[in-house]
A and B are shown apart, each in its own frame.
Chain A
Amino acid sequence: MTVPTNPSPDLATPSATASAPLLTSTSSRLTQVLGIGWAISVVLVVCAAFWWSEPDATQGELVRLFYLHVPLAILEYVPFLLCGIGSVLFLWKRSEWGDLMAHAGAEVGVVMCALTLVTGAVWGRPTWGTYWDWSDVRLVTTLILCLLFVGYLALRRVPGDPTTRAKQAAIVALVALIDIPLINRSVEWWENRTLHQKGTIAQGKIEDINAFATLLGFIMVGLGIAFLMTHRFRIAWLERQVDRVGLDDAIAHRRAEAATGVDASVGRTPEEGGQQ
């Protein structure tokens, strides 16, 4: 995505250029490297999951979905965590950078969370015999986490003063993030009420090629999150700049009208025009 730098070079746009260099695209050298790395890792995971690895002794062919689902289920917390860090940075230091990172983190996190739930449901149907199980606390809390941030994104879309909205969003994000430790520990807390298997990787049950495929899955999802986060962050940054340039343009137009003495479009003097 590219946007024209400055549509009217004769008008001064001081605040847009003073605070930071004007971005012209959502891609950068970093996102290009991340994107190429992500594409390569997707190919490698597909090869590892479908050709190189063997079916599992107990799960059979279903284990192949594991290489996508498990990394998603674990790394989905990273964007939400970045959203929390960004929110704290905003509340503490009034950091615009933190606010944009929080927004980007929430959006990418919701996508990852939804993918986790979908891949989990597809995996659960043949493994557990059901797409969804309401008594599984981990499933339900992941769903709640997803819904919490759907609300967060809805709040961010409500028009209004960006600073006020950023404060409100930061509080909502922190409230939502109090839920995450509960989710992470829930498998242990409500042990008798979960279908989830406990830390297969930690117990050393996964070996060799399967471990390699899982590792590749983690790299793929990690690169994907980094790629999407960086792009989303830069889109938000560009949107802020467009807003500022638009405001500066409007102010410059008014000043130009004032300088010519008469507002030609309405046919009034600047004093009268200024009272509109």
Chain B
Amino acid sequence: MLRDAWLIAAKDLRIEWRSRVATNQVAPFAFLILVLFAFALDANSAALREFTPGLFWVAVLFSGMLAIQRSFSIESSDGVGDALLLSGIEPASMFLGKALAIFLQLLALEVILAVAVLVLYDAGIEDGVLFATTSLVAAAGVAAAGTLYGVLSVNLRVKETILPLLLLPVLAPVLIGATRAFNDALGTAAVDGWAWLGVLGLFAVIYIVFGSFAYGVLLEDS
């Protein structure tokens, strides 16, 4: 099962590596969001530093949305979806594979965004372990929920508009929890980041388990 999942993830990552869409479009878009925030907050360095955690995670969610849409648009052309169904790979493995590929892309996005906020927003990391753990766990939650809703909306004529409407409210707990945890990790507010990390972990576990079961139902005739 895990071997099959890795096959799917490797396929997706290979396509991304060769097409360069993630590196040429999604990553620059994520960077662009950070630039826009600076314009919106009137180049106020103190405000940017204070709100870095929230701005960082909003940038991750918006650019992650593109990565999720991209991950499923490559399935919808050339009968790839049907070919995958015929391959005999279990739906749960497919779910884990797709989610793993999105997870790794999100991690790459987070690294780029982290460097960007450290340089552009003058943010400083006080608790590196919490920073890294939050990034990993939150990305896992986003990838799991995103994969589930990605396959659900892939064959809808309104997929570009319905995916954010469905997915972003579901990800609201991730945005709140990850922002709070980053508040602690970056020292911008006195909160217990590790407690919020628990919320993020619960979210990730619930959606990984639920997604593994629900993916097959959605695949049958989507």
Contacts and interface: CB of A to CB of B under 8 A. Distances in A.
Interface of A: 91, 140, 144, 147-148, 150-152, 154-155, 158, 160-161, 163-164, 167-168, 171-172, 174-176, 178-179, 182
B162 A151 contact: yes
B43 to A, nearest CB: 25
Interface string B131-168: 00000000000000100110010001110001001100
A144 B172 CA distance: 7
A140 B207 CA distance: 21
Contacts of B125: none
A91 B162 CA distance: 22
Given A148-B169, A171-B148, A175-B145, A164 B162 contact: no
A163 B221 CA distance: 9
B210 interface: yes
B166 A172 contact: yes
B contact residues, range? 20 to 34
Tell me what chain A mostly uses at the interface: helix, strand, loop, or mixed. Answer: helix
B173 interface: yes
B217 interface: yes
B184 to A, nearest CB: 15
Contacts of A179: 170, 173
A176 B210 CA distance: 12
B214 interface: yes
Given A144-B172, A155-B166, A178 B206 contact: yes
Contacts of A158: 156-158, 162
A178 B152 CA distance: 18
A172 B214 CA distance: 10
A158 B169 CA distance: 19
Given A144-B169, A151-B166, A176-B170, A171 B221 contact: no
A122 to B, nearest CB: 24
A174 B210 CA distance: 9
B117 to A, nearest CB: 22
